[in-house]
Amino acid sequence: MVREIRENEWYELLKLYLFLHEESVPEITEYLMNTWKDII
């Protein structure tokens, strides 16, 4: 199932990113939150 992500699901998206690509979740910074708002 594919659907648009909801604004409050940013942390779940980061966990998916971690599972698929990286070794750690990026630090939650103002820059990261602003980027998330731009995506939404």
Residue 1 lies in a domain: no
Q: Is residue 30 over pLDDT 90? A: yes
Helix or strand or coil: residue 24? coil
Average of pLDDT values for 6-16?
Answer: 85
Q: Tell me how many domains the chain contains.
A: 1
Average of pLDDT values for 4-14?
Answer: 85
Residue 29 lies in a domain: yes
Residue 28 lies in a domain: yes
Domain region containing 34: 7-39
- In this prediction, residue 33 carries a pLDDT of 85
Find out whether 10 and 2 touch, Cβ atoms under 8 Å: no
